[in-house]
Structure 1
Amino acid sequence: MEFTPGLAVSRRLYDEVVAPALGAVPHAAGRVDSGSDVLGFDTARSMDHDWGPRLQVFVRDRATAAAARAGIVLPETFHGIPTRDHGEQIGVTVDALDDYLTASLALPDPANPTTDDWLALPTQRLAEFTGGAVFRDDLGGLTAAREALRWYPDDVWRYVVAAQWMRIDQEEPFVGRCGELGDDLGSRIVAARLARDLMRLFLLLERRYPPYSKWLGTAVAKISTAPHEALRKAVRADDWRQREHHLLEAATRAGERTNEVFGTAEDPTPRPFHDRPIMVLGAARFARALEPERPMTGAVDQWVDSTDVLSLVGRARAAARGLNRAGLGPNDR
């Protein structure tokens, strides 16, 4: 079967099947949940699971949702693509809009998120919800929520970028320290972690929500300001000094870009780590230039690395709430 991007398939399903079934019922419809197609990263390989003629329909209330759900009957296949799994229709969901927004974002008011709300939302979910496509919105609430979450407010953005810089500061000497101890594997692992953090930093600097690991490199490849070759060389290098050199090249560019974007004036020249024969950028300088006061815990996916937490927004919010209750959150001194 010839590959057609999933969003195009979903749009066709809406136009040809779902919209006629709904008739005059006021509704919103689109693909704003999850999947590689929502991010525009799907390929022919994606067709083997959780892909195809899928979309979400939103109406005003639960009673309308139940009636609309009963009225949408999909064919067994749509342009050759199955719409059922073991007899169950899997392609179209119908929900009351407020119910969906509460469940999928775990926000009390999706159109007016607070700072704590922002920091409790994983960037993968933000990328999905603000990406994807809306095919129709009679209700207005879906569009309003997507616009409200399109990007961080400036103060939250500065804070998240500062926290990303602090992550880099916490490990940047370890490529060399592992290396001089003869721990080449440890040095490689730290270098890969730093490359990942730098990749996320470049996305944040360009106002892009970093996706989860499978799509991180694909997303960064679309960023012209990222030092792609330096990052590739850093993770390929067989000598720790070369790793250090290429990571510093990438970090220097990140420092320059931070100055350009935020108007900071930190010197991005690498420097020795104390009196040791190890070079670092001194990334904490950029963190403190952006956010001189608050603890650098950052957004939830800057300190949680569990898919079982980050893929469920309620759990991510609970984790962030727990951090704040412990007095370790961004609003604690």
Structure 2
Amino acid sequence: MGDDARDDAKDALAEQLLAAFAGGDPDDADDEDDAGEGVTDAEQSPAMFDTQEFLKGLDAIFEAHDAAGKAGPYLQQAMVDAENAGDDAGLLTVLNETMGFYRSQGRHEENQWIVQRAIELALRMGLEGSEAWATTLINCATAMRAAKHYDQAEDLYKQALACAEKNFDPKDRRLAALHNNLSMLYSETDRIHQAELELREALRVIESSSVNPDADVDVASSHTNLALVLLQEGKLEGADWHASKALEIYATGHLEHSAHYASALAGLAQVRYAEQRYADAVEYYRRSLAVIEECYGRDTDYYRITKSNLDQAEAKAGKQAGADTTDTGVATKSADAPEPSDATENGRSDDDSENAADSAATQTAATASPAICGLKLARAYWEEIGKPMIRAKYPEYAGRIAAGLVGHGSECYGFDDKYSRDHDFGPRFCLWLTDEDYAAIGERLQADYEALPADFRGFTRAGAADAATPRAQGAFRRDGVFRIGDFFESITGYAAAPAADAPHEWMLLDEATLAAATNGEVFADPLGAFSKARQAFKDMPDDVRYALVSKRLGMIAQAGQYNLARSLKRGDGDAAWMSIHEFVDACSSLVFLINKPLIVGYAPYYKWRFAALRRLSGRMFTLLPDVCERLETVMRLSSAACYGGAGFGEGGKGSAPAAERIESIVESIARDVVRELRREGLTTSDETFLEWQRPYVEEHIGSDAPCLHSL
């Protein structure tokens, strides 16, 4: 988590600095004009710097993956603007961001000046001993560690830890970030056992604070870090488990577009290399390199180091070619394996046991099978049964076939449990082929897939003759061999994602359908063709997203802010109940839309809507994270509010208290939505009746297509 300065809760830091620094006009910090965006005209007076606008602009650069070319100049200009405005709090925020960026670019010498300047500025502002001081020390220490000035880094980390323990809650993730950072320092200075202890403490803190550790990017990062340290200690079995667990979390949480995903991929590649599973190492290094290039560019130490490791793995895999027909690990570390710290030095996030899910003794009454989630079962079935079959029977296509589990079924969302096994649960996976490859081998490969062992780890494949249901066969089948286009068409009606200039087609696709087409996990995709098609469905055009945001605002206003109150006053509990349903549905959808489906995925259908919403709300930096809990409160109170009556007798309160509480929650959610719309620049209005926010949002829709605009 906190290894990147961007992960040190930028907005929180900015607020701490603004609160801590008494100088300047406090009203300037909240000014909504564009003064903060590069004020360079000397004739403008007085100069102003808008910290929130600066952070929003920097976020936009990183989200567009333009950091390599644009972030540096943007940060330099921001330093000048903040200094010209005399805004020390804003300047310190810029310096903290710059340290993280320079570190990611390997610009260590330049960073020394930034570190010195940040510490001097924070001391001059009187921040010593505050939360902002601890955050600044962490960033400075991490920059010094990256530059290999270890003594200075250790001193700064220890100062930060002492400060943090006085200011932070014991479950505060910034404490985990500190322990992660200290572990890296100990690892890089050959104090490996101390590094392991720090990481285990970091993992403990993060898991204790997480709503859902199985879909939490910070938990995943800690598993990756721990895997690399265990690798240094020669504990290969534990290293492989933790590295694989990290990727499992990224898949479960649909977090593959996090920049830290590259570190997890490189971490597992490092472990597989040490196990002499070179082909696997090549696959994971390649995937990592693609993410690094997208997020950071090629001209970075991070890219160069990972590319060097990939070259080594490819050389080893070439020598091993033809001999590796199974994925058997070797229990000793390869003598010339790249050092773990090399693989992920700039990507590692600061933020020996068996897998309990695989070995748990929990059994269902129906199957008496061991507890294991469907995605994990599918991956194991692919790795142990499917992949060897393809290598043996289709060696010329092994580098062209994509495999994974995506689509309908609770296991594809990672939400399956012991109650999900009464229909179509079992070992299965999908194989996705290009049209050309399907024409050549599709039918034969499907026959070979159907001939695979039906029983695996105590489960029976749903497509087997004695376990088939209608939805597991023919056009309704959910696994087996597919043309890529046919697979997506069977779910969405479209063989490929609609074009950006076809908004009417996007508007015909509901979110649940898009969720089913983009969920799950891809186990292998050598060509990248399936992943590219899948990603296109996640990349909803902005115009469409804005239109849907507007629609959700309208329904929240209509059902929650208007009709709910009127229905309750009329005593029409049934109408009020339906209003609550529409309000909750619109709010939960809006949270996913505001957080952007490209990053967090889509809201699934009603059965799993709240499971997905809880998972999303537990992630660090989720926008509108508290809406989920408040919606759950609304639903818990809805029975009393709608059917509690007028109340009678001494102390009888009837429906009134529940109804008042619901109305209060509705308005609190509306206020938070408006605040978020303003933060994103989608509105300039403070109006909390959300119907009146729709025109402001729709001003950002570039297309004239009528389907995107309200009447």
The answer to whether TM tops 0.5 is yes
Deviation readout 1:181-223 (Å, 9 max, x if unpaired) = 2223322331232122212212221224111111111122121
**2:538 is paired with a residue of what secondary structure?**
coil
**1:29 is paired with a residue of what secondary structure?**
strand
* CA distance in 2: counterparts of 1:332 and 1:192, whole angstroms: 22
Which of 663, 674, 678 aligns to 1:259? It is 678
Distance 1:286 1:96, change over 3 A: same
Which of 389, 396, 412 aligns to 1:38? It is 412
Q: Which residue of 1 aligns with 2:514?
A: 126
Which of 52, 56, 81 aligns to 2:430? It is 56
Q: Which residue of 2 aligns with 1:285?
A: 692
**2:412 is paired with a residue of what secondary structure?**
coil
Distance 1:112 1:263, change over 3 A: closer
Which of 142, 145, 152 aligns to 2:540? It is 152
Q: Do residues 104 (structure 1) and 515 (structure 2) align?
A: no
Q: Do residues 248 (structure 1) and 667 (structure 2) align?
A: yes
Distance 1:191 1:4, change over 3 A: same
Q: Do residues 181 (structure 1) and 581 (structure 2) align?
A: no
Q: Do residues 65 (structure 1) and 465 (structure 2) align?
A: no
* CA distance in 2: counterparts of 1:229 and 1:30, whole angstroms: 33
Structure 2 counterparts to residues 1-333 of structure 1, below 5 A: 1-23=369-391, 24=395, 25=397, 26-59=400-433, 60-72=437-449, 73-84=451-462, 85-87=464-466, 90=472, 92-107=479-494, 109-110=496-497, 112=499, 114-171=502-559, 172-207=561-596, 208-222=601-615, 223-224=617-618, 225-235=625-635, 236=637, 237=641, 238-239=655-656, 240-268=659-687, 281-292=688-699, 329-330=707-708
- Please identify which structure carries the higher helix content: 2
* Structure with the larger RCO, 1 or 2 (CA within 8 Å, 6+ apart): 1
* CA distance in 1: counterparts of 2:513 and 2:608, whole angstroms: 13
Distance 1:227 1:92, change over 3 A: closer
**1:30 is paired with a residue of what secondary structure?**
strand
Letter paired with 1:178: S
RMSD: 2.6
Q: Give the CA deviation at 1:108.
A: 5.3
Q: Give the CA deviation at 1:10.
A: 0.5
Letter paired with 1:81: F
Q: Contact 1:7–1:31 at 8 Å: present in 2 too? A: yes
* CA distance in 1: counterparts of 2:699 and 2:564, whole angstroms: 27
Q: Contact 1:97–1:142 at 8 Å: present in 2 too? A: yes
Letter paired with 1:261: E
Identity over aligned pairs, percent: 24
**2:452 is paired with a residue of what secondary structure?**
coil
Distance 1:79 1:231, change over 3 A: same
Q: Give the CA deviation at 1:109.
A: 3.7
* CA distance in 2: counterparts of 1:243 and 1:118, whole angstroms: 34
* CA distance in 1: counterparts of 2:415 and 2:430, whole angstroms: 19
Q: Structure 1: 5+ residue runs without aligned partners?
A: 269-280, 295-323
Deviation readout 1:79-108 (Å, 9 max, x if unpaired) = 110114543675741122233233333225
Q: Give the CA deviation at 1:62.
A: 3.4
Answer with 130-139 or 236-245: which moved more. 236-245
Q: Give the CA deviation at 1:234.
A: 2.5
**1:34 is paired with a residue of what secondary structure?**
coil
* CA distance in 2: counterparts of 1:68 and 1:86, whole angstroms: 18
Answer with 47-56 or 5-14: which moved more. 47-56
Letter paired with 1:329: C
Distance 1:125 1:118, change over 3 A: same
Q: Give the CA deviation at 1:263.
A: 4.2
Q: Contact 1:198–1:251 at 8 Å: present in 2 too? A: no
**2:683 is paired with a residue of what secondary structure?**
coil
* CA distance in 2: counterparts of 1:105 and 1:233, whole angstroms: 34
* CA distance in 1: counterparts of 2:497 and 2:564, whole angstroms: 42
Deviation readout 1:1-31 (Å, 9 max, x if unpaired) = 3321111110111111112222222311111
Letter paired with 2:412: V
Letter paired with 1:78: F
Q: Contact 1:111–1:144 at 8 Å: present in 2 too? A: no
How many aligned positions are there?
A: 289
* CA distance in 2: counterparts of 1:111 and 1:178, whole angstroms: 40
Q: Contact 1:58–1:65 at 8 Å: present in 2 too? A: no
* CA distance in 2: counterparts of 1:179 and 1:257, whole angstroms: 29
Q: Contact 1:264–1:290 at 8 Å: present in 2 too? A: yes
**1:128 is paired with a residue of what secondary structure?**
helix
Distance 1:232 1:138, change over 3 A: closer
